[in-house]
Amino acid sequence: MVQCYERMSRVKKWDKVFQSPAKFGGWIYGVYLCVICYVGFEFNTHFKQRSLHQLEQHVSQYQSRLNNQLQRFAHLLYSIEAYQRASSDITPEQFYHLAQSQLAGLELELSLESYAIIERSQVLSLEQKYRSLGFFDFTVRLPNRDSGLFLTTLKAAPVSEFGHLLGSAVAIVDPFIQRIGNNELQAVKWHQAQRWSVVIEQFDMQRPQALRALGIGFQLNHLLEGLFGQLYQTSGHHMHVIANEHLVFSSDWQNQFQLTEKQAGITEEIDFFGTPISMHLYTQAQLTPSLLNNYTLIILAVTLIAAALGFMVLMQVRYLTARHDTINNLVEERTASLAQANQQIQHESNKRLAALQQHIVAERKYKSLFVNSSEGLFVLDKYGVLVDANPAFRSLLLGDAHQNTRLTLSDLMLDGDVAERWQKMVEQLQPHEELEWLAGSGQSRGVWVRQTGSWICHSHEVIYEGRITDITALKLFNEQLKYKAQHDSLTDLLNRQTFLQLVEASRTESPGQFVLLYLDLDRFKLINDTLGHLAGDKLLIEFAARMRELVGGFGDIARLGGDEFAILLDVEKLTAPLELLLEDILAAIRVPFEYQGMAHTVSGSVGVRRFTAPCLNYEAEKLLHDADVAMYEAKKRGKNDYHIFTSAIADEASRRLQVERELQTLDMDQELSLRFQPIYCSFGKNIVGFEALVRWHSPQLGVVSPAEFIPIAEECAQIVKLGQWVFKNAMLFKHQLPDDDLFISINVSPIQLQHKGFMNWLMAQFEDAKYRPSHFKIELTESAMMTEENSLVAPLQKLHGLGFGIYIDDFGTGYSSLSRLNVLPVDGVKIDRAFINGIEGTGKPRQLIEAICAMAKSFNLTVTAEGIEQLAQLQTLSTLYCQQMQGYFMSKPLSGFEALQLLHHQASKNLLNEVS
Ligand code: C2E
Ligand code: MG
Ligand code: MG
């Protein structure tokens, strides 16, 4: 990454260098164009000059060739002239022979010619002369218009056309004469086409004044043909030779190239012995113009190509620059990202380095932890074989014996099932939660361990890293805790919760008959209160031991709380009928137990609930409650007995529950009212007081009898509040009574009297003089008085001391010991209406009431008979020691208003009687 970054940086540097041509490409290209144009131009010039030079060379070459030929003519001519000069007179034959000898063998047809230079005036003389010499048809043919000197052909040899040549004349001009005079060669153009002669002056020794000339005649075109006829074939050139504006020669004899329409490559003016002729040379390039031969075009093309190439290069450079810019941007971006990545990598690597260092430190730590850990650490391979274990593991489970042997964890497990399960987990490499197992090996036995660990993939290998902790102590502790949680600490019996679970299990699991017993010790509270809690505890422990002895072998016994116990029996396991067992249980309870050297006896009440499993309709709680209800019934029926649960009891209990529930939410002012039943004097004539009787009209349950709800209110502690309400309203009624002597009898529950709050409240009601306690009588049922005797003595005495009358209600039903009447501050008794029935006869009821009355008399107690429904009963009682009468015969319980009306009515009746 770092290298890459450096490379990117280098690219960036180059990039600046690379960018400049792109920026200045325009003007560089301009310079480049100028240069190549200049070079092109230079080349063009050079090639032009070179070709010109070549042409010049060619022309001079051709010229020299022509000159050479002419030189030869000149030499020949001069030599002939010299010869002629030497031989003063030469005959025509000699002349002919001379010509033939000198000119023979030449490739060109030449003729040796002799001329006379004459004036027009000399023509005749000359003609005559030559005609005279035998040339009879000699005629001088002068040009018509010219005047001056003429050159006239006199002799010509050896060509056959002499005849024609003789006499031909051309006008000669001054330059000709000058040249001739200077002994220079002079070319003469004859009138015949292409006929030329090269002429020199011929000196005639004999007639020096006569102008004579000697020349060689030839066809110029033939001469040129001989020289340049093959020019095109040899050099590719063509040539035009023009003399006196006439074309004298053309190498393109077929006029193939139409040279006359073309501009000559070079034109060379030649002095042709005094006559100028021009030589026009046409080059190959001119003749067959070809792009390949046209240097200008080639150079132009090359220049253009170079320019185009340059342009392409420029475009390429621009394109590359553009691309380069893109790449550059890319490179910059990449460089930035690389730099960032580099930083990240560095950061990462620093982090990793730190992590590695930490890892190393941690590894060292963990290694030391592994070795020094007090917990057993171990490693298994994927087959569950122990591959490593720390000293703690070895000392806990292995010792030295297994150090070198192949050992799996399941070898250490004492429980075969656990070992099998573990082996399956190993086979499936299955993850697991905490495992607890009992370990045992040759070295260690019965060690409970807790195993945690997991399968991990380490260096392509699956291993198990685990940890074991010795939890033997914890297990024991837990077992103890569990036991404690399930058992009652005092009696070591099962506790309520465990027992309920047991009942629940029996009810739902195995089918069968079961019996649930609910046991309650009668009068246990008394033992506790009188002998103390230690005695109570001892009694409970003793009871538990007896029950264990009796049913422990086949039943489960539990203490539900206080003095309540429960037993679950499987009927199948019973060896005797259930009733016998129940009797035995009651008998075992009754066996006196010793405390501090004294024997104490208690009895028990047992509720029995049978059920058949599976019993899906009732839960364990309900079954136990049913047994409790049955036990309550047994208690109600006199205790020291058992009672088997029936649905009737259940209904009763349910009704009780309903009443109790309604009582909890009782709105007393709305739902309660007081009725007042008049109490009469012994003859039933005058009202002496009223008994306040509470009425409850419940919105849910309707009218509920006090005989039903008072005992329930007593149990659920509502009685205190209710009693206060009754007292308060009775006092209000008392306040309305016209006669101050009339008393109000109020039924009071012993619980009210035992309640300090009630007593204080009651005292407070009588603190002012508005009410006098002597106007109120307190009725306590006989049974209540007897059972709560001790605790009632003090409050009753207090009330009695204040002036309240104390009456024993329902007298005769409570089996009270008459001797106790002395102990209690009682002012009177109210004989229960059960004893009133049948007293009008002479049978047992009569005797019984007489006995009661006699007894009351002996104790000096006021006797009130209640429940008088017939006149006869009233009459009978009037004869006995019975001071007060109460019953429907005289009056039913009345509302306050009715009672007041009754009083009013009675007062007016008494008044009438008195008047009459
Ligand atoms: P009790 O105190 O013995 O009250 C007398 C009961 O006998 C009353 O029933 C009354 O209506 C009834 N009675 C009176 N004369 C006759 C008669 O000639 N024939 C018949 N068959 N019955 C007669 P009640 O009012 O239903 O009261 C029942 C019991 O409820 C009372 O018996 C008393 O123990 C208790 N009770 C009533 N009111 C109160 C109260 O305010 N406080 C407490 N603690 N108990 C009360
Ligand atoms: Mg009463
Ligand atoms: Mg009564």
What's the rounded mean pLDDT across residues 103-132? Answer: 82
Domain-embedded: residue 338: no
Q: Give the closest ligand to the alpha carbon of residue 830.
A: 3
Quickly state the pLDDT bin for 207 (edges 50, 70, 90).
low
Question: Do residue 533 and residue 639 come from a single domain?
Answer: yes
What's the rounded mean pLDDT across residues 805-821? Answer: 78
pLDDT 10s digits, 691-706: 999 999 999 999 999 9
Question: Do residue 222 and residue 245 come from a single domain?
Answer: no
Residue pair 508/558 in contact (Cβ under 8 Å)? The answer is no
Tell me: pLDDT of 776 over 90.
Answer: yes
**What's the 868 CA to ligand 3 centre distance in angstroms?**
12
**What's the 813 CA to ligand 3 centre distance in angstroms?**
10
Q: Residue 18: its pLDDT value, please?
A: 47
Task: Please tell me the distance from the alpha carbon of residue 598 to that of residue 580, in angstroms, as a whole number.
Answer: 29
Of the residues 597, 625, 645, the one at which a domain ends? 645
Give me the CATH number covering residue 457. Answer: 3.30.450.20
What phi and psi values does residue 598 have, to the nearest 5 degrees? -110, 145
The structure's pTM equals 0.48
Q: Which helix (H) or strand (E) holds 762?
A: helix 756-765
Q: Residue 89: its pLDDT value, please?
A: 67
What's the rounded mean pLDDT across residues 384-410? Answer: 80
Q: Residue 442: its pLDDT value, please?
A: 58
* CB-based contacts of 158, cutoff 8 Å, min separation 6: 96, 99, 100, 103, 104, 111, 112
Q: Checking DSSP bridges between strand 376-380 and strand 275-282, what pairing results, if any? A: unpaired
Handedness of CA 395, 401, 404, 408 (dihedral sign): negative
Task: Please tell me the distance from the alpha carbon of residue 94 to that of residue 99, in angstroms, as a whole number.
Answer: 8
Phi-psi region of 835 (alpha: psi -120 to 50; beta: other; left: phi over 0): alpha
Q: Residue 569: its pLDDT value, please?
A: 95
pLDDT 10s digits, 237-288: 888 888 888 888 888 888 888 888 888 888 888 888 888 888 888 887 777 7
pLDDT 10s digits, 55-70: 888 888 888 888 888 7
Pocket (CB within 6 angstroms of ligand 1): 677, 692-694, 705-707, 710, 726, 747-749, 779, 781, 809-810, 833, 866-869, 886-888, 893
**What's the 761 CA to ligand 1 centre distance in angstroms?**
24
Q: Residue 644: its pLDDT value, please?
A: 94
Q: Residue 660: its pLDDT value, please?
A: 94
CA 360 and chain centroid, separation: 33
Report the C-alpha dihedral over residues 534, 537, 541, 546, rounded to 10 degrees. 100
Q: Residue 697: its pLDDT value, please?
A: 96
Question: Do residue 303 and residue 238 come from a single domain?
Answer: no
Q: For the chain, how many residues are written?
A: 916
Task: For residue 486, list its beta bridge partners.
Answer: none
Tell me: pLDDT of 17 over 50.
Answer: no
Quickly state the pLDDT bin for 401 (edges 50, 70, 90).
low
Give me the CATH number covering residue 744. Answer: 3.20.20.450
More confident site: 893 or 386:
893
Q: Whose CA is nearest to atom 40 of ligand 1?
A: 747
Q: Work out the percent of the chain whose per-residue pLDDT is above 70.
A: 93
Question: Do residue 399 and residue 250 come from a single domain?
Answer: no
Of the residues 645, 667, 698, the one at which a domain ends? 645
Q: Residue 788: its pLDDT value, please?
A: 65
Quickly state the pLDDT bin for 159 (edges 50, 70, 90).
low
The half-sphere exposure of 388 on its side-chain side, counting CA atoms within 13 A, is: 10
**What's the 809 CA to ligand 2 centre distance in angstroms?**
5
What phi and psi values does residue 898 have, to the nearest 5 degrees? -60, -45
Domains of the chain: total: 6
Work out which ligand 1 atom sits closest to the CA atom of 868: 18
Domain-embedded: residue 571: yes
In this structure, of 39-48, 676-685, 763-772, the range with the lowest mean pLDDT score is 39-48
Question: Do residue 535 and residue 607 come from a single domain?
Answer: yes
Return mean pLDDT, the chain.
85
Q: Residue 206: its pLDDT value, please?
A: 67
Q: Give the closest ligand to the alpha carbon of residue 885.
A: 1
Q: Whose CA is nearest to atom 21 of ligand 1?
A: 867
Work out which ligand 1 atom sits closest to the CA atom of 749: 44
Q: What are the C-alpha distances in Å from 737 to residues 66, 431, 689, 743, 769?
A: 194, 89, 10, 9, 16
Task: Specify which of 302-311, 403-412, 740-749 reaches the highest per-range mean pLDDT.
Answer: 740-749
Q: Which helix (H) or strand (E) holds 44?
A: helix 2-86
Residue pair 777/825 in contact (Cβ under 8 Å)? The answer is no
Question: Do residue 665 and residue 699 come from a single domain?
Answer: yes
Tell me: pLDDT of 398 over 60.
Answer: yes
Of the residues 226, 242, 272, the one at which a domain ends? 226
DSSP 265: S
Q: Residue 513: its pLDDT value, please?
A: 92
Q: Whose CA is nearest to atom 10 of ligand 1?
A: 893
Q: What are the C-alpha distances in Å from 31 to residues 207, 311, 318, 389, 708?
A: 81, 12, 17, 88, 133
Q: Residue 404: its pLDDT value, please?
A: 61
Quickly state the pLDDT bin for 654 (edges 50, 70, 90).
confident
Domain-embedded: residue 9: yes
Q: Residue 402: its pLDDT value, please?
A: 55
Question: Do residue 311 and residue 396 come from a single domain?
Answer: no
Domain-embedded: residue 331: no
* CB-based contacts of 522, cutoff 8 Å, min separation 6: 602, 603, 604, 605, 635, 639, 640
What's the rounded mean pLDDT across residues 353-371? Answer: 81
More confident site: 160 or 291:
291
Q: Residue 736: its pLDDT value, please?
A: 93
Q: What are the C-alpha distances in Å from 510 to residues 555, 571, 577, 622?
A: 16, 13, 22, 19
In this structure, of 72-76, 89-93, 520-524, the range with the lowest mean pLDDT score is 89-93
Tell me: pLDDT of 494 over 90.
Answer: yes
At residue 64, the 3 state secondary structure works out as helix
Work out which ligand 1 atom sits closest to the CA atom of 705: 26
Domain-embedded: residue 652: no
Domain-embedded: residue 332: no
**Structural domain boundaries, residue 615:** 490-645
Question: Do residue 714 and residue 809 come from a single domain?
Answer: yes
What's the rounded mean pLDDT across residues 3-24? Answer: 51
* CB-based contacts of 144, cutoff 8 Å, min separation 6: none
Question: Do residue 399 and residue 510 come from a single domain?
Answer: no
At residue 115, the 3 state secondary structure works out as strand
Rg of the chain over all Cα atoms, to the nearest angstrom: 85
Tell me: pLDDT of 556 over 60.
Answer: yes
Residue with tokens 């031909």: 168
Domain-embedded: residue 204: yes
Q: Residue 264: its pLDDT value, please?
A: 83
Q: Work out the percent of the chain whose per-residue pLDDT is above 90.
A: 34
What's the rounded mean pLDDT across residues 715-722? Answer: 91
Q: Whose CA is nearest to atom 5 of ligand 1?
A: 866
**What's the 645 CA to ligand 3 centre distance in angstroms?**
31
Question: Do residue 54 and residue 28 come from a single domain?
Answer: yes
What's the rounded mean pLDDT across residues 223-230? Answer: 84
Q: What are the C-alpha distances in Å from 390 to residues 317, 386, 387, 551?
A: 75, 11, 10, 53
Quickly state the pLDDT bin for 4 (edges 50, 70, 90).
very low
**What's the 774 CA to ligand 1 centre distance in angstroms?**
22
Domain-embedded: residue 353: no
Tell me: pLDDT of 208 over 70.
Answer: no
Task: Please tell me the distance from the alpha carbon of residue 832 to that of residue 648, in angstroms, as a whole number.
Answer: 28
* For ligand 1, mutation pick of 704, 710, 715 (most atoms within 8 Å of CB): 710
The half-sphere exposure of 885 on its side-chain side, counting CA atoms within 13 A, is: 28
**What's the 832 CA to ligand 2 centre distance in angstroms?**
9
Work out which ligand 1 atom sits closest to the CA atom of 719: 44
Instruction: Tell me which residues have their CB within 5 A of the ion that is ligand 2.
Output: 747, 779, 809
The half-sphere exposure of 101 on its side-chain side, counting CA atoms within 13 A, is: 9
Give me the CATH number covering residue 136. Answer: 3.30.450.350
Q: Residue 891: its pLDDT value, please?
A: 95
* For ligand 1, mutation pick of 659, 693, 895 (most atoms within 8 Å of CB): 693
Question: Do residue 676 and residue 596 come from a single domain?
Answer: no
Tell me: pLDDT of 11 over 70.
Answer: no
Q: Residue 2: its pLDDT value, please?
A: 45
Tell me: pLDDT of 519 over 90.
Answer: yes
Quickly state the pLDDT bin for 630 (edges 50, 70, 90).
very high
- Tell me how crowded residue 225 is: count the other CB atoms within 10 A of its CB: 16
What's the rounded mean pLDDT across residues 605-633? Answer: 92
Q: Residue 772: its pLDDT value, please?
A: 92
Question: Helix axis angle, 295-372 relative to 2-86, nearest 10°?
Answer: 160
Query: Could you tell me which of 687, 706, 716 has the C-alpha nearest to residue 887?
Result: 687
pLDDT 10s digits, 565-597: 999 999 999 988 999 999 999 999 999 999 988
**What's the 810 CA to ligand 1 centre distance in angstroms?**
9
Task: Please tell me the distance from the alpha carbon of residue 674 to that of residue 803, in angstroms, as a whole number.
Answer: 23
In this structure, of 396-400, 420-424, 743-747, the range with the lowest mean pLDDT score is 396-400
Long-range contacts, stretch 99-103, CB < 8 angstroms, 24+ apart: 99/157, 99/158, 100/157, 100/158, 102/76, 103/76, 103/158, 103/216
**What's the 643 CA to ligand 1 centre distance in angstroms?**
29
More confident site: 49 or 16:
49
Question: Do residue 612 and residue 729 come from a single domain?
Answer: no
More confident site: 327 or 38:
38
* CB-based contacts of 419, cutoff 8 Å, min separation 6: 410, 411, 413
In this structure, of 11-15, 338-342, 624-628, 766-770, the range with the lowest mean pLDDT score is 11-15
